[in-house]
Each structure stands twice: as structure tokens, then as C-alpha cells.
Structure 1
């Protein structure tokens, strides 16, 4: 859960004395091994402020990977964890460039920081006094208006609404739109007829919403980060599903359901390709395959195959196709002197780690084993490790 910051903590951390104290605490290791000694030292020097100082330095260090421009920011643990990675927020801000925007669940201001660079008017609101105070500190150098307001009560006009409902209910992550905070159906009702973009978990039950706009799934460096619901007024004409693949070097590739999806039915080619998770979650595997001259192993399985691999994509050259039988695979891997084995699974109920132990590998050569199914039959593809 992390330390429970209060308004008094934020006021202190935002002061000149707090800045000096944070700078001194930042010289400490703050590792598990040094924790007791570090805590004693900070308590000796700063008394009751010790916990807030240590937690702030810890969160700043942790946030850098996700929010590289957040040096000097204030966080709560929950707010930092839920904050959208800067590159993902920047991508959304670019789609909204030129519009006035209102983030009705602004938290500590991570989304507002990116919006402020591309939008002419930026408003943020939240019900949490502590997070609003932190946002004021974090955005002090930016032209952003902050206010305390309930996300379910409209308080702005002529703005695009942005919302990021909390994704936990009863202490657990939820995929039920009605259990988000604020509940997603209530949020959409409150802003009916308005342009709105709602961030959500990619595993949300979108079918329960009967969403009429666009659903965009975004990944960063191969990891799926979020889905975003774009209302019809913000969606591209003819597009209801989009996958956006980002990388830390500034690369961005987009696939939509308006693209062609005609692909051939063929036997497996020379390579297997596992599409980016955003493409799979957005249901655009066929569209991706059509663009790159690939085809599917099975219409219900996301693995693709072809005789070439798209640039910048990891592909697995097929060495052999085998029955998905433990004895058969153990014998074949032993014959090939396999010692290190990456196991990829899709469409079959196999635990890779448990299965690897059963294969009793004792060799020296690396391989990749792809376990899947074609039709009703389980199949194993032995591949070169890229």
C-alpha cells in the first residue's frame, strides 16, 4: 500500500526545507540491506518526516523508467503505479492536439504533463486533496488549471473529457466496467454526447459496454499497457478497433480494422511469428498478417506463419513439426542435444515451466519450442532460437 501521505506532508515536501531534505535522503542507498540503518539516520535527522521523505525518494527512483521527465515530482504509491507511461500519454496527447481537454481523474498529473505540450487549454480535476496538491507541485511550470471536482459531475464545457477510472475493486483488479471507480457506465452517462477518451485495462469486458466508438489497444516495447475508448467524435471514420505499437526509440506502428484482412490458407511456412500483444488484444491478427504476407496456423490461434519475417519482428525458423507428446519431444530434444529451451504456448493447456522439467534436458544447444494446436490436434514446432 505504501505510505499514506497527508496534505501536511505535501506542503512540507513542496517547501524549500523539504527539497533540501529530499536531496539529502536521495544520497542514501535505500536498499533492503541498508533499510534499517537508512531509516534510523533519516529519523534522527528529520523525525516524523522520515517516512514521507523515504517513500518519496523511493517512488521517484521507481518512476523514472515510466515517467523519465518526472525528476522532482511527488507521488503516492498507487498513483505512480496507475500513471500512464509518458510515451503512451504522449501518443494520446498527439491525437488530441489542438483541442481543449479536461482530465476528470487527473491524480498526480502525469497525463496532464503530456497534454499541456500539445493542447491549448488543459484542465485537471480530482476528488483527492493529496493528489491534487501533488499535481500542483508536479505541474508548477506548466499552464494547467486544477480543481477539486467529482468526475461524475460535469464541470467544464467545450472540452474533450479524459478519464482513467481506478481498476481495482475490493482490493483486486477488475475487468467489470461497472466496478471501476468511478463506474464506467456512470461516467459515459454523465458525458453522453461529449467527446471522451477513457483509459482502461486491455482485458476489460468491452462487450458489456456496447461501445459505438473506437477501441485502441497500445503496447510499449512489446508489453501491452492499456486500452483507450475513443468516442465516435474522436475516432477515425470507419475504424472501431486499433492497435498501436510503440517503442522507446520513438517508433509507432498502427493497425486498424479498416485495413484489408484477406489472407491465404496454407501449410506452415518457414517461420512462426507471434504478433505484438496489442495486435492480438485488438483482434487484428488477420489485418497484420495481410499487410506482411503472412497467414495463420489456425483461424482461432494468433500465431502466424510465413516464409519471411517482418522487419524488426522476432521470428522463429521452424526446424521440425512434432506431435505434442511428452515422450516424443523428450526423445527428439535429447537427440538434438538440447540444454536450454524457451517454450511458447497458445491454445493448449500446458504450463511451460512444469513441462520443461518433465523433458529432463541435459544437453548444450538452445532451441525454442512452440506448443499450439491446428484444428483439434495439439502440435509442437521445434524452432531455432533467434
Structure 2
């Protein structure tokens, strides 16, 4: 759970003395091997503040890859875990450029930092006093004691800049003429939940509170959207190959006809997007020269056929997300098919041994097999790298023996 910060901790950490102490603690290794020694040293120097200092330095180091511009920020462990990666938040902010925005679950301000770069007025509100105080530190603004009912423009003029923070319940509308952003907590009873009604605040209640408003709601990619009956767009976003989130966009914030979107981002700044308005007609053919494993955002958004049509590919099986073709789309993983077998352990062991197989990557989709357990059973000790793509074609489990994947 991490250290439980209080308002006094935030006040100290944000002071000149706290900043100097953090710089001192940051010079320590803070590794498991030095843990006891480092704690004792910090306690001797900073007594009651030791735990807050150590936790803050630890969280800043953890945040470096996720929120690169947050070197001087304050966090709680839970807030950092749920914070949107900077590049993902920036992508969303660009879609809202020029609009006044109210983040009703602003937490420590990660989303607000990106919105403030492109939006004329940004409001952040939360019920957690500590997180609001941290957001104020992180963004360089002072939180209001309570929200008013004025427009975002009126609040902005009061603060003299384009960010304002306030304590408010996400289920109680406290702004007008703003786009609403929300990121409900995805844990219930200590466990991650994919039930919209068990989010905090519950997603059905949140949507009802802002009925008729432009709203964007961040959620887990595995959320049961069919149960929700959402009539806007669902965008699934990946970053550097890992699916990060889904975002529900109300109809007023998306393009006509778009109900599904996949956005693929990478740390170098590249971004590609695909929607369900694209063609999805693809042929039914035997496997080509390559197998292509689409990015997870494309798979989760249900746009595998659309991606295939855009790149001259087709599916190995109509119900499986692996694609095949005679070329590999730029920047994607490709696996050159060398051979094909039925799923029989003895046959696989013999073929891999004959080919001097050493390192073995195993990809599985549509078949209930533990790749690590299978790899141990195959016991390959050769020198050549191979990839096994194990999937279902029709009713049969099929194994494709492939050379090591290529990125083109």
C-alpha cells in the first residue's frame, strides 16, 4: 500500500526544507541491499519526516519512465499506479485542444498538466485532500476551498491562469460549458474490477450525472463495454506495444460514424490510428509467407479485419486475431513460416532438435496451453532461435514453426 501521506507531509515536502531533504535522500541508493542502512541514515537526519522522504524519492524514481516531466512532483503509491502515462494523456489532450475541460477525478494532476498546454481553461477536482494538495504542488496552483457554479472562464479569471483546483464530488456537477474527463478507480474490495458498476465512482452513475454533456471517461481495456451499452466511441490506446487504457468518448467528441478506434503510440512520438469506418473486407486464403501479430490496441478495439484490409493481410482463422500475408507492415512484428504441424509434443521435440533449436519464443492464441510449461517439456539446447505460433484453425490446434521475428 505504501506510506500514507497527510497534508502536513505535503506541506513539508513542498517547502524549501523539504526540497533540500529530498535532494539529500535522492543521493542514497535505496535498494534492498541498502534498505536498512539508508532508513537509519534518513531517520538520524530527518526524524519524523523519514518515511515521507524515502517514499517520495522511491515514487519519483518509479515515475520517471511514466511521467518524464515529473521529477519534482509528489505522489501517493496508488495515485502513481493509476496515473495516465504522459504520452497517452498528451494524445487525449490534443483531441480536446481549444476546449474548456473539467477533470472531475484529477488526483495528483497528471492529466491536467497535459490539458493545460492546449486548453484555455482547465479545472481539476477531487474529494481527496492529500491528492489535491499534491496536485497543487505539482502544477504550481493553489486549490480553492470549495467549488462555485461559474463557468470555466469565470473560474480561470479568479485564479489568474488556466488551471484551478477544487474539492468536489465527481458525481455532483460543479461546472458549466466544460468537457468532463473522469478516471474512475478500477479496484473494488482490494481487487481490480471490470464491472462498470463497481468502479469508484460507479460508471453508470457518472454517466447519468453528466447526461447530455461532452464527456471522456478513462477505463481499463478489459471493461465489459457491452454491458454498458455505450453509444459513443471506445478508443483503445497502446504505448510501446503495451495496451494502456480504453477511453469512452461521448458522441459530441468523436467523428460521425466512429464507434471503435485503436491508437498506437510509441515513445519516439509516432502515432497511428484506425477506426471502424475503415474497410474490413479481406480474402479467405491459405497462410501466406508471414504471420503478423497485430498491436494489442487493434485487437482489443475489435479492428483486426480493418487492419488486415489496410495492409493486404488476411486471417489465419476468422475467429483468431493472428494475421498472415506475403509482406509485413512497416514497424510491425513478422514471423516467417518455416513449417506447419499438428500440435503433438513428440513431433515438436523431434523437429526442433533436428533444426538445432535453442532459444524458443512461444506465442499462443485460441488454444489452452501454458507456454512456459511447454517450453520446459521441449528441452531445447541448440543454438538457433525459433518462434512457435500455436493457434486454432477451424477446430484443430495448429503449430507454425517460424524463424525469429523480424521488424521491418
Residue 362 of structure 2 is matched in structure 1 by 343
Q: Of 297, 317, 320, which residue of structure 2 is paired with 1:278?
A: 297
Aligned to 1:63: 63
Gaps of 5+ in 1: none
1:15 counterpart = 2:15: yes
What per-residue deviation string (whole Å, max 9, x for no partner) do you get for residues 117-151 of structure 1?
01000000000000000000000077310000000
- 1:362 equivalenced with 2:385 (yes/no): no
Which residue of 2 is the match for residue 33 of structure 1?
33
Instruction: Tell me the equivalent position of 1:133.
Output: 133
* CA displacement, residues 355-379 of structure 1 (integer Å, 9 cap, x when unaligned): 0111121211110000001000000
Cα distance in 1 for residues equivalent to 2:242 and 2:270: 14
Matched, 1:158 2:158: no
Question: Paired residue for 1:222, among 241, 247, 261?
Answer: 241
Residue in 2 that maps onto 1:310: 329
Aligned residue in 2 for 1:206: 225
Partner of 2:343: 324
Distance 1:191 1:354 in 2: 49
Instruction: Specify the SS of the correspondent of 1:293.
Output: coil
Q: Give the Cα–Cα distance (whole angstroms) in 2 for the partners of residues 365 and 263 of structure 1.
A: 35
CA distance in 2, matches of 1:348, 1:152: 43
Residue 257, structure 1, aligned to residue 281, structure 2: no
Equivalent residue, structure 1, for 2:46: 46
Q: Structure 2: how far apart are the matches of 1:88 and 1:369?
A: 32
Paired residue for 1:176?
Answer: 195
CA deviation after TM superposition for structure 1 residue 235, in Å: 1.4
1:143-187 deviations in whole A, cap 9, x for unaligned? 310000000000000000000000000000000000000000000
Partner of 1:102: 102
- Secondary structure (helix, strand or coil) at the match of 1:175 reads coil
4+ runs deviating over 3 angstroms: none
Aligned-partner SS, 2:251: coil
Paired position in structure 1 for 2:115: 115
Separation in 2, partners of 1:264, 1:105 = 46
Are 2:99 and 2:120, in contact at CA under 8 Å, matched by a contact in 1?
Answer: yes
Distance in 2 between the 1:22 and 1:378 partners?
56
Q: Per-residue CA shift, 1:42-95, capped at 9, x if unaligned? A: 000000100000000000010010000001000000000100000000000000
- Please give the alpha-carbon distance, in whole angstroms, between the structure 1 residues aligned to 2:175 and 2:277: 34
Tell me the alpha carbon deviations over residues 212-232 of structure 1, each in whole angstroms, 9 at most, x when there is no partner: 000000000000000000001
Greater shift after overlay, 141-150 or 249-258?
141-150
**Length, aligned pairs only:** 386
**Aligned residue for 1:76?**
76
Which residue in the other structure is 1:375 paired with? 394
How high is the TM-score relative to the length of structure 1?
A: 0.99
* 1:266 corresponds to 2:281: no
CA deviation after TM superposition for structure 1 residue 314, in Å: 1.0
On the 8 A contact 2:120/2:162 being kept in 1, the answer is no
Q: Deviations over 1:302-361 (max 9, x none)?
A: 000000000111100000011111111111111111111100000000100000111121
**Counterpart residue number, 2:265:** 246
Listed as ranges, the gaps of 5+ residues in structure 2 are: 142-160
CA distance in 2, matches of 1:376, 1:209: 32
**Equivalent-residue separation in structure 2 for 1:236 and 1:124 (angstroms):** 26
CA distance in 2, matches of 1:130, 1:362: 55
Match of 1:234 among 230, 245, 253: 253
Q: Counterparts of 2:266 and 2:62 in 1: how far apart (Å)?
A: 20
Q: For the residues of structure 2 that align with 1:314 and 1:192, how far apart are their CA atoms?
A: 42
Partner Cα separation in structure 2 for residue 361 and residue 250 of structure 1: 39
Give the TM-score, by structure 2 length.
0.94
